[in-house]
Structure 1
Amino acid sequence: MEIGKPSRTAMAVARARAQHQRADEPRVFTDPFAIPLVGEAALGEGEFDRGLDADLVRRRRLWIAARSRFADDTVADAVASGCRQVVVLGAGLDTSALRNTHPDVRFFEVDHPDTQQWKRRRLAEAGIAVPSTLTFVPVDFETGTLAEGLAAAGFGRARPTVFVMLGVAMYLTRPSLHATWRYVAAQGSGSALVMDYLHPAAPASAAALDERAKRAAAAGEPWLSSFTADELRAELTACGFTTVEDHRAADVLGGYLGRTITDSTGSGHLVRAVIA
């Protein structure tokens, strides 16, 4: 990302969530804050969609909606079981804390200070109040750590917590990911991690995936990590997670839509990892 500006990929994801509210039926994921947060003017074609097949853009938009719902469902299940903390890593313009209806459930949003300043300005411009249950945790990983940032924000260590990490893993190196996963796993029993990751694409669709990677790199946010399902399961287990569920994007989306989804790339995967 550029100094003093929000993440361009974070804005692209937020735009996709907003467009989903109007463009897709049946709707996979409902978010009343999505459009007000990005603004009506931002609902047109984004920089990462230009020149792409319209159906590819639609499928990407549906995948973004499905992974948000998957995270919401995981948080809802955890809250029903007594969890009272949620940490959103690389939060960008995520709105889950705004949609939280539980006054005793606390959300911590972790992101780069520039992205958070821009988000707070957008919230104010849109007339969206920051709930008392939301704490912003600005962390520049060039100069600080996740542990330091959360500790300073009053995060309760060793309490059951859901960590949400969407659209983040592919932008981090494996050593950085391992450090984050070990920190999450050390949160202890009853905690969980929800994340998506980039799976190597099938040869027939490698060119399309490579084009997406080039666009992200041109925006200053290159992809740095990808995993096979077996690799990721082994690495998460080594970091301390006891159960790792891995789901293909097409299967998650198909489950929400009630029909089979064909996806030749198989590049998008969602994981729910738990500490028993």
Structure 2
Amino acid sequence: MTKQAKPGFSSAAELTCLLRAKSYGEKRPLFKTDDYVAVILSQSFHSAFSLQQKAFLLGDESANFATAPGIYEYIVARTRFIDDIVKKTAGRFSKIFILGAGYDSRAIRFYPALQHSLIYEIDRPLMQQHKIKKLAECDITPPSNLRFLPIDFNQQNLSDALAQIPLQTGDKCLFLLEGLLMYLEPAHVKNLFNAISDYSSDGSQIIFDFVNQHALTEEILFGGDEAGYGVKESVDCVRRIGEKWTFGIAAAEVEKVLQQYGFALLDYADASKLAARFFADERGRCQVKINAAPALVYASREKS
């Protein structure tokens, strides 16, 4: 039975936070991340959905997290991929925009390194209000450089909001779109990329993930084949939590899509590359399989 998502509320955001919390408590080094804020926030989740997923707090490794095969590993790899870039580029950007922020905690976790950047968390109004309430309940004070900007990307244009945030000459920005694009309609994704492209100066950067186009079509792959690992199950799981993937990119088209908006590819990581980068042992052998539906992109604004 498919659950109907509440307006403005994201089961996917809660699930992601819960999985980040699980990763923080990992005793397996390759699975461990440092999102301690996710641990604190997840303890305040009392929705029926979250309560069903919290068995890991009691150490039950067999708990069903409503996740498809390889998704937990993907969340771990995605967190590490993005965290590494944020730490490596700290101090380079005057403004950092986190779109579809959900329970993102980087403004808090990396405050010492990011304190001289203005950080804008952008999300649906009800989702953002829910997060602010949870932060207060957990006695977590948002850092002084964090701004909350409520926008529903399905109803509002990002460019209108960005027009109210002036850039100084030479200012560079970082845009982070984590777990967002796949839930938007193609026309809204186009508007989003146009707004980011128009606002970004040369040297600005973007990080986003997307699902492969075949996950949205009848070409969904089955079985244990590496190229289709967990894809069908992912689509089914997303539906079960009341959400839907509506946008995808063919892997072969990534650079072409970036070029349309004036960006050049810096890094592309699909399931096999993420597994090799983050889950290889000392002999270079991959220890896990990562869900084949999503992939990560890191790109830079080219000179105009």
For 1:62, the aligned partner's letter is: E
User: Using a 3 Å threshold, how does the CA distance of structure 1 residues 233 and 203 change in structure 2: closer, same or farther?
Assistant: farther
User: Using a 3 Å threshold, how does the CA distance of structure 1 residues 271 and 142 change in structure 2: closer, same or farther?
Assistant: closer
User: Using a 3 Å threshold, how does the CA distance of structure 1 residues 57 and 24 change in structure 2: closer, same or farther?
Assistant: farther
Larger radius of gyration: 2
Q: Tell me by how many angstroms 1:84 deviates.
A: 2.3
User: What is the aligned partner in structure 1 of residue 268 from structure 2?
Assistant: 246
Superposed CA RMSD in Å reads: 2.9
User: What is the aligned partner in structure 1 of residue 28 from structure 2?
Assistant: 25
Superposition map of 1:144-159 within 5 A: 144-152=156-164, 154=165, 156=167, 159=171
User: What is the aligned partner in structure 1 of residue 119 from structure 2?
Assistant: 107
Q: Tell me by how many angstroms 1:113 deviates.
A: 0.4
User: What is the aligned partner in structure 2 of residue 175 from structure 1?
Assistant: 187
User: What is the aligned partner in structure 2 of residue 72 from structure 1?
Assistant: 83
Please tell me whether the aligned partners of residues 53 and 64 of structure 2 are also in contact (alpha carbons under 8 angstroms).
no
In 1, the alpha carbon distance for the partners of 2:53 and 2:207 equals: 27
Please tell me whether the aligned partners of residues 78 and 162 of structure 1 are also in contact (alpha carbons under 8 angstroms).
no
Superposition map of 1:211-226 within 5 A: 211-226=233-248
For 1:239, the aligned partner's letter is: Y
User: What is the aligned partner in structure 2 of residue 46 from structure 1?
Assistant: 53
Please tell me whether the aligned partners of residues 98 and 176 of structure 2 are also in contact (alpha carbons under 8 angstroms).
yes
In 2, the alpha carbon distance for the partners of 1:270 and 1:208 equals: 17
Please tell me whether the aligned partners of residues 99 and 123 of structure 2 are also in contact (alpha carbons under 8 angstroms).
yes
Q: Deviations over 1:124-166 (max 9, x none)?
A: 01110011111011002344211223444x3637731111111
Identity score, percent: 24
For 2:14, the aligned partner's letter is: M
Q: Tell me by how many angstroms 1:7 deviates.
A: 0.9
Please tell me whether the aligned partners of residues 202 and 264 of structure 1 are also in contact (alpha carbons under 8 angstroms).
no
Q: Indicate the SS of the match to 2:90.
A: helix
Please tell me whether the aligned partners of residues 182 and 240 of structure 1 are also in contact (alpha carbons under 8 angstroms).
no
User: What is the aligned partner in structure 1 of residue 101 from structure 2?
Assistant: 91
Q: Tell me by how many angstroms 1:52 deviates.
A: 8.6
Q: Indicate the SS of the match to 2:89.
A: helix
TM-score, L = length of structure 1: 0.85
Q: Deviations over 1:97-129 (max 9, x none)?
A: 111213211111010001001101100011100
In 2, the alpha carbon distance for the partners of 1:126 and 1:88 equals: 22
Q: Indicate the SS of the match to 1:87.
A: strand
Gaps of 5+ in 2: 57-61, 215-219
Please tell me whether the aligned partners of residues 169 and 196 of structure 1 are also in contact (alpha carbons under 8 angstroms).
yes
Q: Tell me by how many angstroms 1:242 deviates.
A: 2.5
Please tell me whether the aligned partners of residues 243 and 275 of structure 1 are also in contact (alpha carbons under 8 angstroms).
no
For 1:14, the aligned partner's letter is: C
In 2, the alpha carbon distance for the partners of 1:143 and 1:202 equals: 33
In 1, the alpha carbon distance for the partners of 2:182 and 2:275 equals: 20
In 1, the alpha carbon distance for the partners of 2:71 and 2:95 equals: 30
TM-score, L = length of structure 2: 0.78
Superposition map of 1:196-235 within 5 A: 196-199=209-212, 200=214, 202-204=221-223, 208-235=230-257
Please tell me whether the aligned partners of residues 16 and 75 of structure 2 are also in contact (alpha carbons under 8 angstroms).
yes
Gaps of 5+ in 1: none
Q: Deviations over 1:1-30 (max 9, x none)?
A: 422x52111111111101111135114421
Aligned length: 270
User: Using a 3 Å threshold, how does the CA distance of structure 1 residues 207 and 274 change in structure 2: closer, same or farther?
Assistant: closer
In 1, the alpha carbon distance for the partners of 2:246 and 2:154 equals: 16
Q: Indicate the SS of the match to 1:61.
A: helix
Q: Which moved more, 1:157-166 or 1:11-20?
A: 157-166
